[in-house]
Amino acid sequence: MASAEIAVGVVLPASGTGDRFSCQTPKQFACLLDKPIFFHTVMAFYRFDWIQNIVIIVSTEYIDRVTAMVDCFKDKVKVVLGSNTRHRSIREGIQALLHVQPVPDVVVIHDVVRPFVDEEVVKTIVKNAFVYGAAGVTRPLVSTVIQGDENDMLTASLDRNLYRASEMPQAFKYGVIKEAYEKADENDLNFGTECLFLALKHCQTPAKLIPGPDSLWKITYKKDLYAAEGIMKETGICVCIQSVTGSASETVLQCLEHHISEKGLSCKRVSEVSSDFNTYVFVHTEKSDITTMLETMSQEVCDCHRRNKYEIVKPCVIHVYAGNLWDTETEREFRETIAKLSKDQCSVLWYGVVCQNTCGRLGKMLASLCWTREDSFSGQTFVLHS
């Protein structure tokens, strides 16, 4: 059965305090590539056109902020107030799905701090939940699990081959998970964390366990945030290089492509602007009417990205002047145009680079700008001297 034939709703609990993250701000609101972590997760599910409704559960102090941020997704996304424990909050999300259309056949539950959402994995658990009543993703245990007593003395060592790590997403027939939460007792609601076990305990519905990829990990500690940023950049940044005014030498273009690709980024030479990319390197080798050319190429980029809700990273434009003839007036025009673009089009990062006979250094600088995407540098022009 195709997932498009199944009405699917998603519940994203986002009202936790994130104690292990060691920060005053709950981790789901920590910034990841200029957006809160929760926003990346919502955006990932929103992109799946076969999912009809998404419910985010948040605490009182963040409900207004979250509601405002997801307003662009309001055709699918509903924000509801959470509670003081994980299971109680999820129960609120399950109840909220009673009031949407269509009421889902299957509900997907996913941690909002797991921003890497694989569509094929979600489809697989939805289909299995429709057949078996419940399904969840698992991973092999990496460490041996031991048991200690009240004095912290070892009492047992479990055979890790008999156990698996329960991951997210999980999915349930709506009737199953709704009944499970209606029957959940105070101990379940106060101390429980495993939704699959509730379905087994209260509805006698054993879950189908699906082996999942290693991309399903959860942002738990601050160090995970840096790893998540690196993964998003490696998989999300797409660079194109275009020779615009004049004719940049093949050596220069090859050098730029080499250094950017060496950074682990997708890079391709193109002849025209396309929304397939989010990072644009325009190489100019002639100074005639350079202001008009900068503005024209930049407008094409803005037009490509203006209506895109799904930007993982902020688009970036780097104008490079790599010609031999340069003067103070041209440099002033170049700098002022880059600064003006940054001011007028703040949803895009704008950098200018002027260089002469420094191909290797230029490649390294462009690779760094593409990777770091430092917002405070937007509007700046960098000069590389021989």
What is the C-alpha R_g of the chain? 25
**304 with 277: CB under 8 angstroms?**
no
pLDDT at 284: 86
As a whole number of angstroms, the distance between CA 330 and CA 307 comes to 33
Record the tokens describing residue 240, joined without a space.
Answer: 């194109």
Give tens-digit pLDDT for 15-35: 876 555 556 778 899 999 889
pLDDT at 360: 80
What sign does the dihedral 219-223-225-227 (CA atoms) show? Answer: negative
**Which residues are CB-neighbours of 367 under 8 A, at least 6 positions away?**
259, 260, 262, 263, 265
pLDDT at 274: 86
Q: How many residues does the chain have?
A: 386
Q: Is 230 helix (H, G, I), strand (E, B) or coil?
A: helix
As a whole number of angstroms, the distance between CA 123 and CA 286 comes to 52
Mean predicted lDDT score pLDDT of the chain:
89
Q: Which of 292, 290, 295, 277 is nearest to 246 (CA)?
A: 290
pLDDT at 19: 58
Partners of residue 351 on adjacent β-strands: 318, 380
Partners of residue 381 on adjacent β-strands: 352
Partners of residue 8 on adjacent β-strands: 106
pLDDT at 293: 81
Q: What are the structural domains, with CATH classification, of the chain? A: 3-229 (3.90.550.10), 237-384 (3.40.50.11460)
Q: Which of 57, 198, 200, 208 is nearest to 137 (CA)?
A: 208
Please give the chain's pLDDT, 386 residues, in tens: 455 689 999 999 998 765 555 567 788 999 998 899 999 999 999 999 999 999 999 999 999 999 999 999 999 999 999 998 999 999 999 999 999 999 999 999 999 999 999 999 999 999 999 999 999 999 999 889 999 999 999 999 999 889 999 999 999 999 999 999 999 999 999 999 899 999 999 999 999 999 999 888 889 888 899 999 999 998 889 999 998 866 667 888 888 999 999 998 999 999 888 888 999 999 888 777 778 888 888 888 888 877 666 778 889 999 998 766 667 788 888 899 999 999 998 889 999 998 876 678 889 999 999 999 999 999 999 988 76
Three-point CA angle 70, 369, 377, nearest 5°: 75
Query: How many CB atoms sit inside 10 A of residue 154's CB?
Result: 9
* Alpha-carbon distances of 61 from 13, 25, 82, 114, 273, rounded to whole Å: 15, 11, 11, 22, 43
Give tens-digit pLDDT for 215-229: 888 898 888 999 999
As a whole number of angstroms, the distance between CA 38 and CA 112 comes to 5
> In the 8-state DSSP scheme, what is residue 347?
T
H/E element, 281: strand 279-284
